[in-house]
Amino acid sequence: MSDWDPVTLEVFRNLFYSAAEEMGVTLCRTSFSPNIKERRDYSCAVFDGDGHLVAQGEHMPVHLGSMPLSVEAAIEHVPMEPGDMVVLNDPFRGGTHLPDITLVQPVHLEGEAAPIFYVANRAHHADVGGVTPGSMPLSNSIYQEGIRIPPVKLVRRGEVVRDVMELILTNVRTPIEREGDLTAQIASNRTGERRLVAIAEKYGPDTVRAYMHHLQDYAERMTREAIKSAPDGTYRFEDCMDDDGQGNGPLPIVVTITIAGDSARIDFTGTAEQAQGSVNAIYAITLSAVMYCFRVIVPFPVPSNYGTVRPLEVIAPEGTMVNARPPAAVAGGNVETSQRIVDVVLGALAQAIPGQIPAASSGTMNNLTLGGTDPRTGDDFAYYETVAGGMGARPTSPGLDATHTHMTNSLNTPIEALEHTYPFRVRRYAIRSGSGGSGRFRGGDGVCRDIEVLCPCQITILSDRRVHAPYGLDGGEPGKPGRNVLVSLDGDERELPSKASVSVDAGTTISVRTPGGGGYGRPGGREG
């Protein structure tokens, strides 16, 4: 089929998107952990028979841009038959960081040897082993971060491979919760399989294959049009991570973007060498962040798929923080360094297309993990959450308060769910007034999230923007840096660095005070 109909294209766009969204609904509703059920720290996507992205749900940008490399790794390493599913989390073989476990399944039509689709989902598991509960440690090697799963079959011909499941469950602190979440991921893929088979049977496999490719071509054309709107030239921007949690920092991240016609070269040469600590990103994360930035500059809705990447050449020198080699520690690269990659890419694009890019948002996911033994049950627990911050002000309006931005798209854990499930008490949850940068339009304010632990706990925080503030644009002021504060039972406060892991007694409160977004435009005019 050489020609295509725009109405039919829109029909297929929504059919594939709806399949990915329904996969997400299944995963959310059948999962065990608050991290997936409440915070929705998961992503689902549909791929063509070659493993190229076709459609994704409105889930986590940091997952979705990197998931194609997981599908590629599964296809390359494991021959898959109908009913099989491959599980993996190895960052150096298609994964991101170890808590993100991906499940990949081929979708076959009856009588066809080759799959017509692949479906995949990725969920952040609250614990996958490692040296601290929550598997987000201040590590200096990936071997400290948890169980590392290469691409292997978790489901064979429709049946769970018990040996593989038991191997995973034996290496985590919360095996019942982990098995429940993995089973939810299996159900999610099966939902996608049913929906996609029904679509192919209704419209015919040839038409379905053709429109998958038409959608990818359409996304490519729209991305190229957006790139063409920027003047040809070279644009450079630099920002940094505060530190790596091992006493090293600041750590620069540098990008040079070269626009030539309808294509762009994004070069991270000059970025710091891979760090001793866990702020290293693997190439899939860097690609994901770049893909996100170029998708958001397209001034109208466009499907996010393989076509978005085609106009982009991403150069990330091996052995740097944006393309780390094993056995680098990577727990924070997925969640923290990805945010700074976005900051520098958008900072460079603000030079290319002034007046269209917002100031820097909070620039950190404020990752908090707490673990111990629940005195109510005697069972071990591990809790993980990300805490929202301020959005950067926009060229025509202020930034939003207390929101997850850029590479994270998760929700908060409701206080009721948190206190019901874990031995915690939420002492304060409020907007951090005045933390947004001033300007013609103010940056959004961050939040204050204070959690008291009701039993002895290990608390680990992986955050950033505690030293170097989120930048303003066009004369706007930077946002206020964040703070991490430990409050003892008698009220004494102890400042923690951006990355810390401490053992505390019952009655201790961890107070996470997140950064505000940068302001836009010089202060003194009308302020948003």
pLDDT at residue 220 tops 70: yes
Q: Is residue 318 part of a domain?
A: no
Q: Is residue 379 part of a domain?
A: yes
Domain final residue pick, 184, 203, 219: 219
In percent, the amount of the chain with pLDDT more than 90 equals: 90
Q: What letters, b where the CB count within 10 A reaches 16 and e where it falls short, cover 179-201?
A: bbbbebbbbbbbbbbebbbebbe
Q: Residue 391 has which token pair? A: 């959005």
Q: Is residue 449 part of a domain?
A: yes
For 146-178, write each residue's pLDDT tens digit.
999 999 999 999 999 999 999 999 999 999 999
For 78-90, write each residue's pLDDT tens digit.
999 999 999 999 9
Please answer whether residues 242 and 464 qualify as being in contact, where contact means their C-beta atoms are separated by less than 8 angstroms: yes
According to the model, what pLDDT value does residue 528 have? 47
Give the H/E segment covering residue 457. strand 457-462
What pTM was estimated for this model as a whole?
0.95
Which has the closest alpha carbon to 392: 501, 324, 472? 472
Kindly give the residue spans of alpha helices, DSSP state H, lying in 326-394.
Answer: 338-352
Rg (CA), the chain: 22
Confidence band, pLDDT 50/70/90 cuts, at residue 127: very high
Question: Cα–Cα distance between 209 and 200 in angstroms, integer?
Answer: 9
Q: Residue 177 has which token pair? A: 């919760």
Q: Is residue 240 part of a domain?
A: no
According to the model, what pLDDT value does residue 409 have? 79
According to the model, what pLDDT value does residue 300 have? 81
Q: Is residue 116 part of a domain?
A: yes
Mean pLDDT, residues 18-29 taken together: 96
Question: Cα–Cα distance between 88 and 86 in angstroms, integer?
Answer: 7
Q: Is residue 83 part of a domain?
A: yes
In percent, the amount of the chain with pLDDT more than 70 equals: 98
According to the model, what pLDDT value does residue 111 have? 86
Confidence band, pLDDT 50/70/90 cuts, at residue 525: low
Domain final residue pick, 195, 219, 243: 219
pLDDT at residue 348 tops 60: yes
Structural domain for 159, as ranges: 6-219
Q: Residue 479 has which token pair? A: 């946002």
Q: Is residue 349 part of a domain?
A: no
In 3-state terms, what secondary structure has residue 93?
A: helix
Kindly give the residue spans of alpha helices, DSSP state H, lying in 331-396.
Answer: 338-352
Confidence band, pLDDT 50/70/90 cuts, at residue 66: confident
pLDDT at residue 1 tops 60: no
For 301-346, write each residue's pLDDT tens digit.
888 899 999 999 999 999 999 999 999 999 999 999 999 999 999 9
Please answer whether residues 479 and 445 qualify as being in contact, where contact means their C-beta atoms are separated by less than 8 angstroms: no
As for how many domains the chain has, the answer is 2
Domain final residue pick, 175, 198, 219: 219
Give the H/E segment covering residue 202. helix 175-203
Four-CA torsion 267, 273, 278, 281, nearest 10 degrees: 20
For 283-303, write each residue's pLDDT tens digit.
999 999 999 999 999 988 888
Q: Is residue 235 part of a domain?
A: no
Which DSSP category does 1 fall into? Answer: -
Please answer whether residues 484 and 439 qualify as being in contact, where contact means their C-beta atoms are separated by less than 8 angstroms: no
